[in-house]
Amino acid sequence: MNLSAKRTSWLVIAVFVLGVGALFSLVSGSESSSAPQQLSADSQSYQATELAKGFPGGDTLPAILVFHSDRGPLSPEQIGALQSVPIQAASAVDGAQAVSPVIPVNDSTAQATLTLPGELSGFGVSDAVKALRTSINDAAIPGVDAYVTGPAGFAADTAAAFDGANFALLGVTALVVAVLLIATYRSPILWLVPLAVTVLADRAAALVTGSISEATGWFTSDGSTAGITSVLVFGAGTNYALLLVSRYREELPTTVDSHHALHCAWRATLPAIISSNLTVVLALQTLWFASVPAFRSLGASASIGLLIALLFALPLLPAALNVCGRGLFWPKVPRVGHTSNRISNFERVARGVNKRPRQVLAALTILLLGLGFGISGTRIDLEPEEQFRTTSEAVDAAALLDSSSPIDVYAPTDDMPATLDVIRGMLGAQLLGEPVPNADGTWEKATLTVDTADTTPTATVEDIRDNAPRGVIVGGQAAQIIDAKAGTLHDMKVIIPLIFLAVLLVLVVVLRALVAPVILLLAAALSTWAAIGTGTFISTHIFGFPGMDLSAPLYSILFLIALGIDYTVFLVLRAQEETHEYGTTEGMIRAVGVTGGVITSAGIVLAAVFAALGVLPLITLTQVGILVGFGIVLDTFVVRTLVIPALFAILGDAMWWPHRQQEYCFTIRT
């Protein structure tokens, strides 16, 4: 027994526990509730929001009150009786102001507009809209239902949907990980150590990312970003633990000193764990080149979270394992000399692949290519009202209105007459009053609505942008939909090639080869194509979602390429370790046999953790969970077990070019 090592381990544990406790006491742990920020700074919609601040009421948040009767048309008397409701509702919220009377929209529906203070956000908007809804329902006349929609209503429903959602995600994720760890280790106590370390890492990551976001403003910690970061920290932290504990169990029968066995296991898995972490972190850094703020926020937040997960995995996890000793594996405690010579099922499969590698590779390539076509015929885009998996009053109320949300057109004062001529000549467009000048008279704002029976709001926005004088800026909800879609498409073209390049560079450095990185990345790309196609089919035809959100494929490609390569690195590094004694082909077969169990366990855990994103309220996150979860399972059972052994059997030593096989001779144990 190494008493000195145990004392050091207790010291490490004390430092980490006290450090996390200090974080909780010094940093506020407020829950993220806002929606992702989708507008790039160079989009017209974003510029419109900035220009709006110079106009009367421009720093406010509009709320649309909707009154609807399902018992027949609204009478003039009912419309008259409703006129006091907006004023009464505005008095229920500090700073709110009624800015329009109740106006009939159709026979059974009327609307009014009031504004909320512009500085409200997150749960502040949710509380204000909740007060409005209570007030208008108390004041509404019998037979008429009252709702709140518009920008304030959608913002409030988003915040309410995330209320407690991230804590629910934490609970579900922890439960899933606990069950899978118990099934993997078959021990009533061993699972507690990696789970406790991962939970501490997740909470520390949440506090650190939240405080950095608040203090620096470099990125926004919205609800989606916080949820995905938590999933990544849990998935990565658990995988690091699986790699280390698996090798630790492998080393224990070789020595009576459990500390020495742990040290050997730590040294053996250190390259795989570090390269795994840095691969994903480097891939996330490509998001800094995105124009959409939500993507940049995810890159920053998730990178910080993963680095914290690595910080906890390297010193704290070994320290916790060390103080517990060999008995942590009870009831199946590894004893010295009790090694198993049984050939694993994974090795049998790899040997079977090795007999006919070309036939296996050809069949799997056709299968994976075919699975990718599951995306055919799917609508790749979701409207804002289609984003919620939870009930949204704002969505339901917006569906009652025949006209679109207002479109705001900003033009330099001299260009406004020509702009108005364009608007008046458009089918279905109707101006709401006269243009309003800004404080210094250099710009004017015109507001219009669109009769959706004649045209669509997005078509109107595009027509104005195409035909109005140069320099005119169009904002509003329809314009934001167009600009958010354009920003995401732009970022996909920029980010996806950078992800592949970043991962390729990591593979070249880690594997010290040129052929293997290219081949392995192509295999990962094929697996990702199959996962996106199949996941899209599952999402739309089994879960019944109306389409695939545009950002889901980008998130999925990022995580599937970066995380899938993690398992490849672990497998290939072990194959390099075996190569010097058995040769490339046999070394890969043995590596599959030794690592198959832990890679399968890690893959199942990571897939289940991503599936837990379904707890969150946005369809986008559920779809990311489906695509990534299925992709990781596919990668684990098909690519890692069948495709890569087939590739190594076909190419042999050429995989290591420009190095020779003998150059990989090294010894892990000391």
pLDDT, position 225: 83
Tell me the pairing of strands 407-412 and 473-476. antiparallel
Contact 177, 238 (CB under 8 A): yes
Burial of 294 (0-12, 13-18, 19+ CB in 10 A): buried
pTM over 0.95: no
Question: Residue 337: pLDDT band by 50, 70, 90 thresholds?
Answer: low
Q: Which range (37-41, 118-122, 191-195, 362-366) has the least confidence? A: 118-122
**Per-residue confidence (pLDDT) for residue 29, from 0 to 100:** 52
> Among 281-290, 311-320, 339-348, 575-584, where is mean pLDDT lowest?
339-348
* pLDDT score, position 141: 84
Strand extents, DSSP E, 390-442:
407-412, 429-431, 436-437
Res 359 pLDDT > 90:
yes
- What residues form DSSP beta bridges with 388? 618
Residue from 428, 398, 414, 405 nearest 474 by CA: 405
* pLDDT tens digits, one per residue of 381-419: 777 777 777 778 888 888 887 656 778 899 999 999 999
Reference 300, options 379, 211, 412, 398; nearest CA is 211
**Phi, psi angle pair for 71, to nearest 5°:** -105, 5
Query: For residue 473, what are the β-bridge partners?
Result: 410
Place of tokens 């073209």: 493
pLDDT confidence of residue 667: 38
Place of tokens 């045209």: 455
Residue 430, phi then psi, degrees to nearest 5: -135, 125
Kindly indicate the confidence band of residue 305, based on its pLDDT and cuts at 50, 70 and 90.
very high
> From the centroid of its chain, how far is CA 572?
28
541's CB contacts (< 8 A; 6+ apart) are: none
Q: Three-state SS for 67?
A: strand
Distance between CA atoms of residues 263 and 251, nearest Å: 9
For 115, phi then psi, to 5°, come to -120, 150
DSSP SS3 for 664: helix
pLDDT at position 304 is 93
Find where tokens 């509009």 sit.
62
* Burial (CB count <10 Å: 0-12, 13-18, 19+), residue 542: exposed
* pLDDT more than 90, % of the chain: 23
DSSP H helices, 163-252, are 165-185, 192-216, 223-251
**Structure tokens that stand for 490 in this block:** 């732009």
pLDDT average, residue stretch 492-509 = 90
Q: What's the chain's length in residues?
A: 670
Structure tokens at 561: 């390429």
Q: What average pLDDT score do residues 235-247 get?
A: 87
Per DSSP, the residues of 372-404 read HGGGTT--B---GGGSBSS--HHHHHHTT-SBP
Q: Which two tokens stand for residue 345?
A: 């099922």
What distance in Å separates the CA atoms of residue 350 and residue 360, rounded to the nearest whole number? 11
User: Averaged over 645-660, what is the pLDDT?
Assistant: 86
Of 58-67, 85-94, 164-173, 640-649, where does mean pLDDT reach its minimum? 164-173
Q: What is the mean pLDDT of residues 651-657?
A: 88
Predicted pLDDT of residue 334: 82
Residues 411, 468: contact at Cβ < 8 Å?
yes
Residue 143 burial (CB < 10 Å; 0-12/13-18/19+)? exposed
Half-sphere exposure of 77 (CA within 13 A, CB side): 3
602 Cα distance to chain centroid: 20
The pLDDT of residue 416 is 92
Is the pLDDT reported for residue 318 higher than 90? yes
**DSSP letter at 253?**
G
Q: At what angle do helices 477-511 and 258-285 cross, to 10 degrees?
A: 140
